């Protein structure tokens, strides 16, 4: 089939406004006759469900957690971008658009990103009206801080728990509609298939995770706001329940996947400590505003630190390599995430990693504590040369800005980051790839939409920090509610969708068949046994460093592992009860299929992009060009009117071309 992105004609700055002025609408009296299913209740799904219900649609919302408050959006720490230019430092809609496209290695869809930048300011107004407690400056204006990859301060934040506060705002909006009866909430329900009737998405099959009951649910359209698939690596910063099942089932029903191999490798995570771990913990990128990243210059010091005969605080400034400041002076420690991750890996691969595994670098706040302490001493008329006083005052400032993050680090690592530099290392975080969508956010299945991290459109090969929350809320509050009306305007006379059809029966039978197999398999190994093996293949051969030989090997190994899984997995318990191992088994089965597609996509991309090194193509010249780009000599500039599809790998690979159907056994 030929993919049609449906990007409107005309100048990029006018596309969204002109488009909204000409699409079909559903009038308020007709909206009450139309049902919409929203799967996932994080920032994208929650905001979409609330807004669609506010408009008058009947919404059925599903989440596998016990409450929408538990969605993984709650884990976002650092902030949300918006081009309000409160700091007066030169920000604009265009600059946010430009930074996002550039930060994504020029592989984002420009039209979608410009729209994202346009509506970003509305998000902040919406959330303030909901009562989201953004940080404020002394004068009462909302405060902003910087994130990697930009030279302005545009990130709005609520301490180190921005995701939680934004999610509570969306949740309160949902609760208003639940109370009115416009949203019917299905907690502890997992979507296990999409149902197509006459080629259109008309419902889903779910499993009640408490009782095990298989249920049919119908609607005129289905919206997936189900997040990303970073847990294909087993160890990631994602919640352990985060999975690909909803998106993958949609894919198997005809929704195309785009850029599956583009995974965000976040540079600021607590390092792996051993095989016992089940997940990794993110330290917010906001820490790089004040923390300085370094490793020792001399390997003798590295060895002494690993042997615990030398403390990092005992290493003189002259013997420290602040390698990001050295390599990228314009951006310093606030380079984009992919650049910071590559640089950390390079230093550790060269033998300068500072923990027992050799895979960690320091994130040090000593300079910030001293700077803030002297400033506070000056403000209060105290002795700026009193080292103990300066340190105390400086720590208080840092605690006010990052206190919950420091507390979290100390609880996990058992070291005081006010006294000893944090140790960090890159880890799998966000996934830029996802379900292919057009400008309307519709997949290749009519009536099936994907929003937020579940789709592929906005972040290219590398997401800029604080853009995930922006995309989720933009899609849910301000984009999908417009574009879905253009499709639903043809359904105002359709009437309720029946679940007593052969399409629903067949989909339910397929779901039951897979569950029965897993329950009755009686193999010898646990679900986690297979998931960990998959994760090691993915990280070692499809992670930051990639080459053709390893990727081909990964494809074969994953295929063999999948066959072994279906023969030898053991799932205790029964299907008709609360059975987390059964739920986990279904999710890992989907990861095993996605993993193979992931590796195949990576093999086809003979390039280094985002946080991924394609080793055969790494050259000194290529790395020099990367450094040059991020010292403000861009790989390209818009000349006059902005143009689209510039250096667009994704356009060439996924849009307006014939795509062969893939099948998975």
* Annotation marks residue 145 as catalytic: no
| Residue 281 burial (C-beta neighbours within 10 Å; 0-12, 13-18, 19+) | middle
Structure tokens given for 138:
């002394």
How far apart, in whole angstroms, are the C-alpha atoms of residue 16 and residue 111?
A: 8
Sorted by sequence, the CB contacts under 8 Å of residue 218 that are 6+ apart come out as: 35, 195, 202, 203, 496, 497, 498, 499, 504
How far apart, in whole angstroms, are the C-alpha atoms of residue 528 and residue 47?
A: 33
Question: Exposure pattern of 353-379 as b/e (b: 16+ CB <10 Å)?
Answer: bbbeeebbbbbbbbebbeebbbebbee
Q: Is 492 helix (H, G, I), strand (E, B) or coil?
A: coil
Structure tokens given for 407:
């507390």
Do residues 459 and 434 make contact, with C-beta atoms less than 8 angstroms apart? Answer: no
How far apart, in whole angstroms, are the C-alpha atoms of residue 532 and residue 232?
A: 9
- Dihedral, CA of residue 422, residue 423, residue 427 and residue 430, to nearest 10: 10
Residues for the chain: how many in total?
665
How far apart, in whole angstroms, are the C-alpha atoms of residue 290 and residue 338?
A: 19
Structure tokens given for 154:
């545009």
Structure tokens given for 331:
């951006």
DSSP string, 199-254: TEEEEEEEEETTT--EEEEE-SEEEE-----GGGGSSSSS-TT--SHHHHHHHHTT
DSSP string, 34-87: -EEEEE--SHHHHHHHHHHHHHT-EEEEE-SSSSGGGSGGGG--S-EE----TT
Do residues 124 and 83 make contact, with C-beta atoms less than 8 angstroms apart? Answer: no
Sorted by sequence, the CB contacts under 8 Å of residue 306 that are 6+ apart come out as: 354, 355, 356, 358
* CA proximity to 242, closest of 475, 49, 42: 42
- Please give the angle made by the CA atoms of 229, 235 and 237, to the nearest 5 degrees: 70
Catalytic hit among 107, 320, 337, 546: 337
Provide the CA 575 distance to its chain's centre, in angstroms.
32
Sorted by sequence, the CB contacts under 8 Å of residue 34 that are 6+ apart come out as: 26, 57, 58, 220, 221, 488, 491, 492
- Residues with a catalytic annotation lie at 337
């Amino acid at each position: 089939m030929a993919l049609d992105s449906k990007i409107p004609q005309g100048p990029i700055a006018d596309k969204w406004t002109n488009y909204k002025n000409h699409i079909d609408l559903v009038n308020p009296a007709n909206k009450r006759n139309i049902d919409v299913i929203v799967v996932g209740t994080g920032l994208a799904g929650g905001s979409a469900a609330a807004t669609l219900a506010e408009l008058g649609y009947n919404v059925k919302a599903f989440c596998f957690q016990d409450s929408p408050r538990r969605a993984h959006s709650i884990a976002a720490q650092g902030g949300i971008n918006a081009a309000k230019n409160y700091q007066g430092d030169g920000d604009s809609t265009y600059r946010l658009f430009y930074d996002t496209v550039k930060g994504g290695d020029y592989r984002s869809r420009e039209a979608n990103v410009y729209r994202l930048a346009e509506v970003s300011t509305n998000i902040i107004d919406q959330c303030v009206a909901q009562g989201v407690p953004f940080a404020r400056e002394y004068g009462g204006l909302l405060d902003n801080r910087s994130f990697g990859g930009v030279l302005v301060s545009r990130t709005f934040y609520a301490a180190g728990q921005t995701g939680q506060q934004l999610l509570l705002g969306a949740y309160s909006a949902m609760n208003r509609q639940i109370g009115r009866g416009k949203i019917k909430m299905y907690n502890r329900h997992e979507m296990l298939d999409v149902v197509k009737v006459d080629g259109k998405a008309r419902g889903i099959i779910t499993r009640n995770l408490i009782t095990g009951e298989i249920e049919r649910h119908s609607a005129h359209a289905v919206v997936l706001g189900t997040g990303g698939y970073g847990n294909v690596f087993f160890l990631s910063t994602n919640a352990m329940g985060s999975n690909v099942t909803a998106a993958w089932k949609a894919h198997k029903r005809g929704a195309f996947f785009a850029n599956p191999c583009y995974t965000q490798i976040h540079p600021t995570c607590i390092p792996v400590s051993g095989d016992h771990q089940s997940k990794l913990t993110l330290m917010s990128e906001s820490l790089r505003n004040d923390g300085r990243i370094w490793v020792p210059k001399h390997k003798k010091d590295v060895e002494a630190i690993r042997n615990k005969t030398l403390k990092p605080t005992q290493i003189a400034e002259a013997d420290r390599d602040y390698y990001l400041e050295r390599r990228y002076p314009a951006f310093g420690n606030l380079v984009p995430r992919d650049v910071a991750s590559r640089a950390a890996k390079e230093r550790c691969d060269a033998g300068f990693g500072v923990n027992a595994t050799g895979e960690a670098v320091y994130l040090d706040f000593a300079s910030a504590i001293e700077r803030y302490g002297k400033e506070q001493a000056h403000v209060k008329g105290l002795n700026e040369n009193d080292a103990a006083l300066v340190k105390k005052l400086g720590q208080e400032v840092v605690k006010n800005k990052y206190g919950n993050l420091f507390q979290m680090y100390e609880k996990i690592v058992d070291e005081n980051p006010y006294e000893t530099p944090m140790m960090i290392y890159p880890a799998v975080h966000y996934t830029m790839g996802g379900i292919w969508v057009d400008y309307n956010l519709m997949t290749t299945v009519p009536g099936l939409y994907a929003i937020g991290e579940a789709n592929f459109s906005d972040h290219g090969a590398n997401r800029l920090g604080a853009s995930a929350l922006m995309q989720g809320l933009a899609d849910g509050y301000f984009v999908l509610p417009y574009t879905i009306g253009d499709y639903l305007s043809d359904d105002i006379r359709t009437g309720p969708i029946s679940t007593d059809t052969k399409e629903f029966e067949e989909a339910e039978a397929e779901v039951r068949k897979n569950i029965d197999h897993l329950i009755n398999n009686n193999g010898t190994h646990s679900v986690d046994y297979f998931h960990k093996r998959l994760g090691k293949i993915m990280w070692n051969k499809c992670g930051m460093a990639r080459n053709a030989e390893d990727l081909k090997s990964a494809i074969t190994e994953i295929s063999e592992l999948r066959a072994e899984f279906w023969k030898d997995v053991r799932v205790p318990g029964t299907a008709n009860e609360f059975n987390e191992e059964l739920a986990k088994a279904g999710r890992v089965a989907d990861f095993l299929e996605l993993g193979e597609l992931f590796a195949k996509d990576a093999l086809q991309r003979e390039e280094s992009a985002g946080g991924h090194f394609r080793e055969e193509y790494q050259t000194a010249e290529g790395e020099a060009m990367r450094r040059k780009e991020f010292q403000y000599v861009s790989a390209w500039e818009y000349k006059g009117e902005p143009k689209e599809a510039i250096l667009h790998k994704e356009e060439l690979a996924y849009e307006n071309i014939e795509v062969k159907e893939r099948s998975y056994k």
